[in-house]
Amino acid sequence: MSLFNASEFRLPGFKLAVSSCLFAVIVLGMGAFTRLADAGLGCPDWPACYGHVLWPTNSEEVAIANQAYPDAPVEHDKTWPEMVHRYVAQALGYFTIALFTIAVLRRKQPQPVAVVSGLLTVNILMTVLTAIVGVSMEPYAVASVAVTLFVLAYLGIKNGVSDVPFKLPALILAFIILQGLFGMWTVTLKLWPQVVTSHLLGGFTTFSLLWLLMLRLNNRVWHLSKTDLQQLTSLRPLVVGGLIIVFLQIALGGWTTSNYAAVACPDLPTCQQQWMPAMDFEQGFNITQHIGPNYLGGTMNNEARIAIHFSHRVGAIITSAYLIALVVLLFKSVSVRQVRTLGKVILGVLALQVGLGLGNIIFQFPVSVAVAHNLVGAFLLVTLVTLNHRVFTARLVDSPTTENL
């Protein structure tokens, strides 16, 4: 089964969307490496790094930086990952601006171009002003993004889905701007777990939206018999449930790394040599941790971290069982080759993800395996995005082949 449609049926911007997805994978990988290498505070200021466009390099620059930030001396193995991550994320922003520009120029239906473009321009200006002026501009930046997301949601409900995506590229650009703010708060709020987890989920969401845009611009849908289509349609709630469960499991994984709980259970299949170790769920899932402390290395006690890690393990079992059952149900309900192939892909990615999760513990949490675990988690998420897109856009065999919903 080929994922891509014939070139004559694709919509404008498809190749750029593919490139954006590939670049988003690089951003996710660099973000995971930065976080897992404890380089999240490799540069204590934002958007510069010790006042530099890149980072301090020679001994004189390092001495000046250390004098300016005595509590955060320069560590060269942590400055470069942070700044490379910032710049590749910024480059992804340029990709999304280009995608939105194409959507404006190639639109086939009337769209609120002036309103949406104006809001996005204000978002960008507010973010730039926040970088220049400082924290006094943050409420305005947050408000502008919130208004934009609300307007896009309203337009999506009111106008539905257009033949050539317009609101989706706008939503992606708004998310990129929001991600920029989360990136700033990750540094200024000293790895506050709530922000770090939100930043991770924002990255996964951005990648998923870019993937969805690529699927829509690919302009390919499943064409099924009436019986197969009815069977597939009846599974829509379960397919959506699979996407939600995977996203929640990713959120649990994000909370695990944000609170440095990955090493809380260093053994398998037990945890701390016990099947049910002492756990503090109230503290482990306390989302009211205060702003102010430096959260590098985590501040929770061991029982709280065990509760987080244990929950992530249980979540992995639930997620695996649900996805396996979902794919088996797909196989039993629909006999079409494309459906079965996608089901096999989901199972393959799931098996790889579970293997990497086990490898994290077996090999004592090497950064390379942990980064791969993050990336394969993103791939698992977009396989579910693909399944949802295919299920909700499936048509009868005699429907037009170029219809894109």
pLDDT higher than threshold 80 for residue 79 = yes
pLDDT higher than threshold 70 for residue 2 = no
What's the sign of the alpha-carbon dihedral 129, 74, 202, 190?
negative
Confidence of residue 404 (pLDDT cuts 50, 70, 90): very low
Confidence of residue 106 (pLDDT cuts 50, 70, 90): confident
Range from 24-28, 221-225, 316-320 carrying the lowest mean pLDDT: 221-225
Give the per-residue pLDDT at 34: 92
In terms of domains, do 293 and 181 share one?
Answer: no
In terms of domains, do 280 and 196 share one?
Answer: no
**100-106 average pLDDT score:** 86
Give the per-residue pLDDT at 160: 74
Among the candidates 174, 195, 220, a domain finishes at: 220
In terms of domains, do 390 and 262 share one?
Answer: yes
pLDDT higher than threshold 60 for residue 399 = no
Give the per-residue pLDDT at 107: 73
In terms of domains, do 240 and 207 share one?
Answer: no
Give the per-residue pLDDT at 397: 81
Higher pLDDT, 18 or 127: 18
Among the candidates 160, 185, 220, a domain finishes at: 220
Among the candidates 196, 220, 244, a domain finishes at: 220
Give the per-residue pLDDT at 6: 61
User: Average pLDDT over the chain, rounded to whole?
Assistant: 90
Q: Which of 338, 323, 342, 388 shows the shortest CA–CA distance to 225?
A: 338
Give the per-residue pLDDT at 250: 97
- CA distance to 72, 191, 284, 295, per residue, from 299 (Å): 18, 11, 10, 6
In terms of domains, do 282 and 397 share one?
Answer: yes
Confidence of residue 335 (pLDDT cuts 50, 70, 90): confident
Instruction: Provide the percentage of residues in the chain whose pLDDT is more than 70.
Output: 95
Number of domains in the chain: 2
Give the per-residue pLDDT at 402: 46
Give the per-residue pLDDT at 132: 85
In terms of domains, do 118 and 202 share one?
Answer: yes
Give the per-residue pLDDT at 314: 96
**178-199 average pLDDT score:** 93
Give the per-residue pLDDT at 5: 64
pLDDT higher than threshold 50 for residue 405 = no
Tokens 């990615």 label which residue?
349
pLDDT higher than threshold 80 for residue 109 = no
Q: Show the domain range for 165.
A: 1-220
Confidence of residue 40 (pLDDT cuts 50, 70, 90): confident
Q: Which of 386, 397, 381 shows the shortest CA–CA distance to 203?
A: 381
In terms of domains, do 254 and 356 share one?
Answer: yes
In terms of domains, do 237 and 352 share one?
Answer: yes
Q: What is the DSSP letter of 266?
A: -
In terms of domains, do 229 and 203 share one?
Answer: no
Higher pLDDT, 1 or 103: 103
Give the per-residue pLDDT at 136: 83
Q: Which of 221, 178, 192 shows the shortest CA–CA distance to 342?
A: 221
Q: Which of 60, 61, 75, 82 is catalytic?
A: 82
Instruction: Provide the percentage of residues in the chain whose pLDDT is more than 90.
Output: 60
pLDDT higher than threshold 50 for residue 403 = no
pLDDT higher than threshold 80 for residue 161 = no
Confidence of residue 153 (pLDDT cuts 50, 70, 90): confident
In terms of domains, do 156 and 242 share one?
Answer: no
Say how far apart CA 130 and CA 313 lie, in whole Å. Answer: 39
In terms of domains, do 267 and 369 share one?
Answer: yes
60 annotated active-site: no
**295-324 average pLDDT score:** 95
Element of type H or E holding 119: helix 113-133
In terms of domains, do 365 and 405 share one?
Answer: yes
**286-306 average pLDDT score:** 90
Say how far apart CA 147 and CA 53 lie, in whole Å. Answer: 31
pLDDT higher than threshold 80 for residue 327 = yes
